[in-house]
């Protein structure tokens, strides 16, 4: 009898297959929001310029909510801006009307004063975490403060899975790998009788677990290599558009964390350069990070497989090979930061044991530093896992007790999803 793949509940007991899967992805590398069919949003909160009738896209925006704010339709917005699809990018300027447009709510205060009074982190509850962020930013951006840091050195690094978007019931890249195997199966009839491919096609978790680490690596390589970098980018982009999270039934790109989106925007507004430093595959992340987070591809550091230069039909291409190049996880993160960024961060944000060394490396620098860890303790709105503080153990985004103890000992801020965030996801929950 075939086993059915489950949409794992928030506190599903840990199983050997999940551990093996996590190990395999670790070996290969395990705005803002503007995606089609990403769910409705209550309002658009970006800046409006009445003089030019233009609106600047902000975190969580889509065409529907922008249209709602300005009393126009999605079709009209597309026509006014020559858009062929629904995708918009953080910071993008959109014309919202040919004539006079509906301006934001009036205020008797000058615009500069109104902006100064606005809460840059509205989805954060007042508490130690939010206070630490604001105090740190004030310190490093005030030229009269001894802790002032020049803009060149205002580097902030963010893990991706579990820090910026959801990582349960499995890493998004793993869901992609399994779907990719099924999509490729018609070209490989031998997979019907060959493990571990047969296990994926049969939805047999037990057989997949029995394949061990070697089998999982074989799956990842089969789904990620043997094509050009451009072909892989197109495949990833198409999957991101169509795939749905098993619990929330929404695109994965709509399951980014609104408080972290606000934090990214807040830091950039104060002269920071924000980077993603993740154990995930760099070429899996880069197709979506600018659209989803406002972070361009050159500011994404991740795990890589080897690529080779070839000329095919007279055209140069880069071929993705089935060989590990660099693992940007745990001790690899400081190495990747040094190798690809070249400056030590003054702020680092993670959520698991895989981020420990990145925070330690950041903390070891001179001057003011901010190290923060997202702790998933909200099973109702997202997931709850640890095993720190007695929560369920997990191979995806493991937050062990010794990491919690280290954070407390060293003064790192632990962000409680349950207590520190008013809202979890960037789109309506």
Asked if 153 and 291 sit in the same domain, the reply is: yes
The answer to whether residue 109 is domain-embedded is no
Length of the chain: 429
DSSP assignment string, 96-154:
--SS--PPPPP-SS-HHHHHHHS-S-TTBPSSHHHHHHHHHHHHHH-TTSTT---GGG-
Selection from 31, 30, 12 nearest residue 280 by Cα: 30
Distance between terminal CA atoms of the chain?
Answer: 37
Res 37: pLDDT: 35
Q: Is residue 94 part of a domain?
A: no
Same domain flag for 191 and 276: no
Instruction: Give me the phi and psi of 18, to 5 degrees please.
Output: -65, -40
pLDDT of residue 86: 73
Number of domains in the chain: 2
Residue 427: predicted pLDDT? 67
Instruction: Please name the helix (run of DSSP H) or strand (run of DSSP E) that holds residue 220, with its range, or none.
Output: helix 212-224
Regarding whether 295 and 187 lie in a shared domain, the answer is no
Do 374 and 304 reside in the same domain of the chain?
yes
Q: With 0-12 CB in 10 A as exposed, 13-18 as middle and 19+ as buried, what is 233?
A: middle
Decide if 158 contacts 257 (C-beta within 8 A): no
* Same structural domain, 142 and 179: no
Give pLDDT tens digits for 212-237: 767 777 888 899 999 999 999 999 99
Domain hosting residue 178, numbered range: 16-30+170-226
Helices (H), 270-368: 282-293, 332-336, 356-363
Is position 345 within any domain?
yes
Q: Would you state the pLDDT for residue 219?
A: 87
pLDDT number for residue 60 = 67
The pLDDT value recorded for residue 21 is 53
Q: If we measure between CA atoms, which residue out of 204, 188, 292 comes closest to residue 196?
A: 204
Q: Do 220 and 265 fall into the same domain?
A: no
Low-confidence ranges of the chain (pLDDT < 70): 1-44, 60, 99-117, 213, 427-429
Identify which of 163, 386, 397 has the alpha carbon closest to the alpha carbon of residue 274.
Answer: 163
Same domain, 178 and 164: no
294 plus 379 within the same structural domain? yes
- Do 215 and 269 fall within a single domain? no
pTM: 0.78
DSSP 340: I
Whether residues 284 and 345 fall in one domain: yes
66 is a domain residue: no
Do 254 and 373 lie in one domain? The reply is yes
Whether residues 260 and 335 fall in one domain: yes
How much is the pLDDT for 210? 79
């Amino acid at each position: 009898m075939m086993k059915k793949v489950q949409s794992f509940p928030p506190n599903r007991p840990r199983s050997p297959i999940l551990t093996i899967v996590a190990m395999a992805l670790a070996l290969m590398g395990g705005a803002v929001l503007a995606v089609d069919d990403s769910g409705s949003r209550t309002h658009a909160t970006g800046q409006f310029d009445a003089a030019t009738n233009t609106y600047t896209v902000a975190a969580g925006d889509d065409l529907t909510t922008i249209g709602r704010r300005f009393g126009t339709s999605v079709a009209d917005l597309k026509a006014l801006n020559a858009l062929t699809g629904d995708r918009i990018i953080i910071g993008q300027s959109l014309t919202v009307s040919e004539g006079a447009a509906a301006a934001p709510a009036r205020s008797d205060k000058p615009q500069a004063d109104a902006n100064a009074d606005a809460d840059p982190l509205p989805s954060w509850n007042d508490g130690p975490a939010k206070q630490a962020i604001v105090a740190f930013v004030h310190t490093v951006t005030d030229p009269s403060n001894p802790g002032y840091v020049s803009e060149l050195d205002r580097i902030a690094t963010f893990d991706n899975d579990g820090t910026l978007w959801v990582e349960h019931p499995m890493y998004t890249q793993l869901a992609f790998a399994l779907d990719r195997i099924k999509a490729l199966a018609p070209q490989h009839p031998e997979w019907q009788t060959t493990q571990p491919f047969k296990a994926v096609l049969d939805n047999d978790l037990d057989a997949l677990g029995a394949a061990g680490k070697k089998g999982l690596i074989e799956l990842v390589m089969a789904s990620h290599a043997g094509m050009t970098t451009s072909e892989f980018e197109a495949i990833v982009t198409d999957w991101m558009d169509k795939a749905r999270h098993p619990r929330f039934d929404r695109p994965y790109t709509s399951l980014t964390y609104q408080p972290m989106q606000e934090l990214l925007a807040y830091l950039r507004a104060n002269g920071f350069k924000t980077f993603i430093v993740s154990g995930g595959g760099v070429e899996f992340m880069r197709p979506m990070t600018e659209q989803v987070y406002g972070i361009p591809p050159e500011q994404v550091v991740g795990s890589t497989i080897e690529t080779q230069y070839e000329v095919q039909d007279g055209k140069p291409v880069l071929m993705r090979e089935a060989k590990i190049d660099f693992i940007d996880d745990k001790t690899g993160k400081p190495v990747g930061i040094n190798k690809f960024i070249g400056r030590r961060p003054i702020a680092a944000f993670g959520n698991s044991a895989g981020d420990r060394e990145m925070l330690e490396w950041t903390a070891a620098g001179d001057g003011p530093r901010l190290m923060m860890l997202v702790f998933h303790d909200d099973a109702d709105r997202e997931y709850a896992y640890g095993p720190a503080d007695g929560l369920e153990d997990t191979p995806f985004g493991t937050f062990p007790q010794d990491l919690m103890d280290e954070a407390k000992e060293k003064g790192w801020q632990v962000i409680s999803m349950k207590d520190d965030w008013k809202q979890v996801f960037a789109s309506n929950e």
